[in-house]
Amino acid sequence: MNDVLMTMRGIRRHYTMGDNVVRALDGVDLQIRRGEFVMIMGSSGSGKSTLMHLLGCLDVPSGGDFRLGDDDVAGMSDVLLSQVRNRRIGFVFQQFNLLHDLTVLENIALARVYSGMDRRTRLEKAREYADLLGLGHRLGHKPSELSGGQAQRVAIARALVNEPDIILADEPTGNLDSRTGGEIMDVLYGLHDRGYTVIMVTHDPKFAEGGTRRILLQDGCVVEDVSGERAMSESVAAEHSRGATVAAGMSIFDLLRIGVREGLLAHKMRTALTMLGIVIAVAGVIAMSSFSLGSKQKQADQIRALGANLVRVVDGRLEGEKLTQARIGGSAGLSLRDLEVLRQCVPGVLLSAAAREIKLNPVTDSGQSISPRTLGVLGDYHEVNNLRLTAGRFIDTHDQTDNARVAVLGASIADSLGGDDAVGKHVLLGGNPYEVIGVLANRNIDIKGLEATGASDSNRDLLVPLRTILKRTRHLDMRSEIDEICLQLESEEFLYEAGAAIRRVLQLAHAGQDDFRLVVPLDLLKQKQQSQRLLDILTACISSIALVVGGIGIMNIMLASVTERTREIGIRRAVGATHRDILLQFLSEAVLIAITGGLVGFVVAVAVVAATCTVFDLPIVVSPVMVAVSVLASTLTGLVFGLYPAAQAAAENPVEALRYE
Ligand code: ADP
């Protein structure tokens, strides 16, 4: 077995300060063997800390040859160097360098976070070392509640938890009174006795001879290298095999835990304010899309309630010269013959109906004027228009062929005749009594919103057989036979094809006269909904701006956080965090803020939508796509705007970061 743990040959570490070159180390030759306890002495500025940082792989030399065992450190990547710090070296600092938000137990377990050990196992492991250092009763405390001696014991336990080859202690007693300092030295001697190799920097002459070897540095050079009083410890390297099974890197759970703890909970108010932009953006997108979808759905529902898949052919209602021209041109206007032809020639026609409005003022048999819209209807009028009866029956073919004087009343008209009891009563049309045979169900449709679709309020209709009307009432000169033909198609798919066919057929039948109009309610609805898209686009724009503003907020707060936590970054790097670990840690914090903002935005949106839609009687529609898109967008915002601060954090130099006050 190779007993040489570290070999330095001609190691230099120079710092360039403007034109000056500071030679912190200038040609150090050193070999560290297993079982040694090396005391490094030297006046302030002689290069002790620099040497420790190089030995601990926190820094790289400017020149010379440095080997860990047989491995050349110069060729090691960040990941490899981090692994060395994590598994082969345990650092103990003068300032303890504990993480203040973590408990004693969590601080001890920190190095194991970066060797990928699961939380339960690593806390068990940490407890073992806490017991070894007499900290058993302090496990749940925060570092601020510990005495200096206890804090240093925690730091030593943390250095031991990954069972390293070497413990590097940089003035571990420097911040302690002499009695506590003595206790900490006893701990280190004890560890040496157990087989650990220790390298320690000290200013204290009374510890100088306590190692197996004493090295004196002066101006970056080793000027003395002599044996100490202490005997080499029996090597037990085989015993602290460095957990060959450990996986590399942080687990996703650790990332999330840190994210929640540091990103979300550490500064609640600050985080909440930062999230606001994201919350507004996400709530805005979801709420506005819900309103938009809700009103679209309401209109679509109403269109369907009025009769689905309808095509209306409406007479042009030409007057004066235009009417004369149309008639001379060979068109008789909309007629029952047209209805017949259309039924035969248009594909996918399921039901059909015709209607003609009559300008008559019906009165009840008691003489009361009821001023309805009087329509003569034919065919499947009530089915096509989705009309339901609450009493009696609808006009049937017999009524048509018999020219029967019967009437069906809309709900409002029926009200003035006693509602459902109107059946059997009579209304007078042009002086002739028509028997009421049916009453239509009330239809609660917001007709105003559907004006463009040609829909009308059936509640005020008085329907009579069209043939009776044509037979028994006077035709006005040149007026078209009927006002409207309604065709119901088998499905929406036929709408386009049918529209084209109707146009062709009627142009032929009307000798090319443009005296009719095609109304496809669903098309009109779609057109109307198209115009709403502008509003949707506007909402998306405003939300995107809010998202960007939110993202900038996150970036800002993360940059502040990186500065505040520079020392923490140094500590984490010293115990084995890689660039990537630090990057992911800060990124996960940013993303968690963003995701939480997104989720809060979602909840706010649902609450607002539920309340508003209830008040305005809109259907509550929350688009899963919009929810997914906005939460995804907020996550992406966190990722994009968190990347720069996270990269800044990862780029921190561990040595500089550890010095940060
Ligand atoms: P010691 O630990 O023995 O007091 P250091 O190793 O901290 O000494 O420093 C050795 C020399 O290197 C000092 O002159 C110090 O000013 C210089 N030095 C250390 N770190 C830096 C740095 N980052 N930039 C410039 N000079 C440095």
SS3 annotation, 38-99: EEEEECCCCCHHHHHHHHCCCCCCCEEEEEECCEEHHHCCHHHHHHHHHHCEEEECCCCCCC
Average predicted confidence (pLDDT) for the chain: 87
Residue 161 CA to residue 427 CA, distance in Å, equals 99
Has residue 395 been placed in a domain? yes
Has residue 89 been placed in a domain? yes
Has residue 519 been placed in a domain? no
Q: How high is the mean pLDDT in each 10-residue block of the chain (661 residues)?
A: 86 92 93 94 94 93 92 89 91 92 93 87 92 88 93 93 91 91 92 93 89 94 92 63 51 86 84 89 87 81 72 86 86 89 88 88 76 88 87 91 91 84 86 90 69 69 90 72 89 81 89 86 71 81 87 93 94 93 93 92 92 86 85 91 96 90 75
Nearest Cα to Cα of residue 453 among 385, 375, 387: 385
Same domain, 449 and 595: no
Residue 454 confidence (pLDDT): 58
Residue 158 confidence (pLDDT): 94
Same domain, 216 and 342: no
Atom of ligand 1 nearest to the CA of 42: 3
H/E element holding 522? helix 521-564
CB of 202 closer than 6 angstroms to any ligand 1 atom: no
Atom of ligand 1 nearest to the CA of 655: 23
Same domain, 418 and 357: yes
CB of 46 closer than 6 angstroms to any ligand 1 atom: yes
Has residue 304 been placed in a domain? no
Has residue 238 been placed in a domain? yes
> CATH number of the domain that 144 lies in?
3.40.50.300
pLDDT tens-digit readout, 144-165: 999 999 999 999 999 999 889 8
Nearest Cα to Cα of residue 550 among 465, 635, 493: 635
Same domain, 281 and 338: no
Atom of ligand 1 nearest to the CA of 44: 4
Residue 190 confidence (pLDDT): 92
Cβ atoms within 10 Å, residue 615: 8
Burial class, 223, CB count within 10 angstroms (exposed 0-12 / middle 13-18 / buried 19+)? exposed
Among 461, 479, 514, identify where a domain stops.
514
pLDDT tens-digit readout, 279-329: 988 898 888 888 888 888 887 777 776 666 888 899 888 888 888 888 888
Same domain, 453 and 596: no
Residue 37 CA to residue 467 CA, distance in Å, equals 117
Residue 238 confidence (pLDDT): 42
Has residue 309 been placed in a domain? no
Nearest CA to ligand 1 atom 18: 24
Residue 639 CA to residue 321 CA, distance in Å, equals 70
Nearest CA to ligand 1 atom 5: 47
Nearest CA to ligand 1 atom 26: 15
**In which domain, by residue range, is 151 found?**
4-249
pLDDT tens-digit readout, 245-262: 444 567 888 888 888 887
Residue 198 CA to residue 63 CA, distance in Å, equals 25
CB of 50 closer than 6 angstroms to any ligand 1 atom: yes
Same domain, 429 and 500: yes
Same domain, 145 and 173: yes
Total domains, the chain: 3
Interior/surface letters 312-345, b for 16+ CB within 10 angstroms, e for the rest:
bbbbbbbeeeebeebbeeebbbbbbebbebbeeb
